[in-house]
Amino acid sequence: MSECRLVLAEIDARLSSGNVRQRLGLLQQVTDLFVAGSHQHSGAEIELFDDVLLRLMAEIETEARKRLSGRLAPLSNAPPKTVRTLAFDDDIEVARPVLTHSTQLSDADLVANAKAKTQDHLYAIAQRIKLSEAVTDVLVERGDRRVVRCVAGNAGARFSLAGYGRVVDRAKRDRRLALIVAERSDIPHQCFLKLLATASAEVRRKLEAMAPAAGLAIRHTIDELATEKQREARESLPDYPRSVRDFRRLFRAHRLSETNVHAPASEQHFHRTVIALSMLGLLPMELVERALLDKGTDMILILAKAAGCSWATTKAMLVMDAPGRALSKQQLENACRSYEALSQDTARRVVRFYQRRGQTFARAPEKESVVSQS
């Protein structure tokens, strides 16, 4: 038996007769002995230390348990049962050091602690260098605002998809949390879309100010979100599938012409105009849709020219109902002059530019690309 084990055996024998003061002295002695040789103790010796420390802790005051927790927390081979007992102490000053730093606590220990203990205990766990998805799931579910902000800002924390979903839901009511979550490099794309969908304009501005280089990505993501919303709204229309089939049939038979754009535009049939112009000019559907909804005229002129439409058809689209676009006779005359001066090559270059840059007008998904359907 090693000298260490002999000393522990002697201390163990003195435990039954010692008073509280003697126990404090023994605790100090055992702790010093363990820390001094922490890298050399065998598994059997650590187990013996564990048993002795647990017996000593049974009747000692909070301050002594707090000091013990602080000394054992950084040790990679600290007695595991002692560490777990300290972690579940009701006094957060005792539990905090091991909850935040000890590697002797398993995920199962941390999950059990997070499910049962106070918000202070959860906050201590949220500050650990590494956190698994199982642990963060509980922290996000049970944690208060301070806890969730802390774990969301912890670069070593990993989140499940469901956990990220709950964090994003909570960020709807917490602007600071929204900013913290948006900065995470591992946030799933669909969660980032959802975050931006519910973020206020102020939060979006702050995100761009915090990371100017990410401004383009943020704006592109917002555009992508708007594109998805457009698609959902369009596909929910009862006549949309039939209209797509009708115009696709004409396109494949090489019978689609400008007339197929002019007629629905003149009848104020918005989505049939969108589908027809998109297929006639091989244009992304979202690009056409947004142009027809925009209060300005420039994009309609460009898309119509790129598709080879006449001024009569272009004018029919310009006078369609659109929020904020009510053109006077003079404005229509100015638009006509601009249209006549615009070449088809220039218009097509502008369309390609928007598609490449991915700004303002999003690229159409492949399933709605006219080229892929032809």
Tens digits of residue pLDDT in 9-18 = 656 656 555 5
Q: Encode pLDDT of 319-341 as tens digits.
A: 987 655 778 899 999 999 999 99
pTM: 0.58
Element (H, E) at 314: helix 311-318
Q: Which of residues 58 and 112 earns the better pLDDT score?
A: 112
- What lies within 8 Å, CB to CB, of 3 at 6+ separation is none
Q: Which among 20, 40, 84 has a CA at the least distance from the CA of 5?
A: 40
Q: Determine the Cα–Cα distance for residues 45 and 29; give it in Å rounded to an integer.
A: 15
For position 211, what pLDDT does the model report? 53
Q: pLDDT category, 113, cuts 50, 70, 90?
A: very high
Structure tokens at 315: 């004018």
Cβ–Cβ under 8 Å, residues 359 and 219 = yes
Q: Any idea where the domains of the chain sit in the sequence?
A: 1-88, 243-373
Q: Specify which of 69-83, 98-112, 249-263, 267-281 reaches the highest per-range mean pLDDT.
A: 98-112
Positive or negative CA dihedral for 153, 155, 158, 159? positive
- CA–CA separation, 38 vs 26, rounded Å? 18
CB 50 within 8 A of CB 90: no
- The pLDDT of residue 1 is 41
- Determine what percent of the chain is predicted with pLDDT higher than 70: 75
Separation between Cα atoms, residue 158 and residue 164, nearest integer Å: 9
Task: Tell me which residue has tokens 């947004």.
Answer: 290
Q: What is the pLDDT of residues 186-226, one digit of tens each?
A: 888 667 767 776 666 667 667 666 555 555 555 655 555 55
Distance CA 155, CA 130 (A): 8
Q: How far apart are CA 228 and CA 238, in angstroms?
A: 18
How many other CB atoms are found less than 10 A from the CB of residue 263?
A: 15
> CB–CB of 362/224 below 8 Å?
yes
Which two three-digit tokens encode residue 152?
């969301």
Alpha helices in 59-160 (DSSP H): 62-72, 80-87, 92-101, 107-116, 119-126, 133-142, 145-152
Supply the DSSP symbol for 374: -
| Rounded percentage of the chain residues whose pLDDT exceeds 90 | 43
Q: Check whether 294 has a pLDDT greater than 70.
A: yes
Q: Is the dihedral of CA 338, 344, 345, 351 positive or negative?
A: positive
Which of 63-67, 222-226, 243-247 has the least mean pLDDT?
222-226
Predicted local confidence at residue 195, as pLDDT:
78
268 token code pair: 């104020």
Q: 131 - beta bridge partners?
A: 157
Compute the distance between CA of residue 33 and CA of residue 348 in angstroms, rounded to an integer.
80
Gap between the Cα atoms of 232 and 227, Å rounded: 9
Q: Are 223 and 231 in contact (CB under 8 A)?
A: no
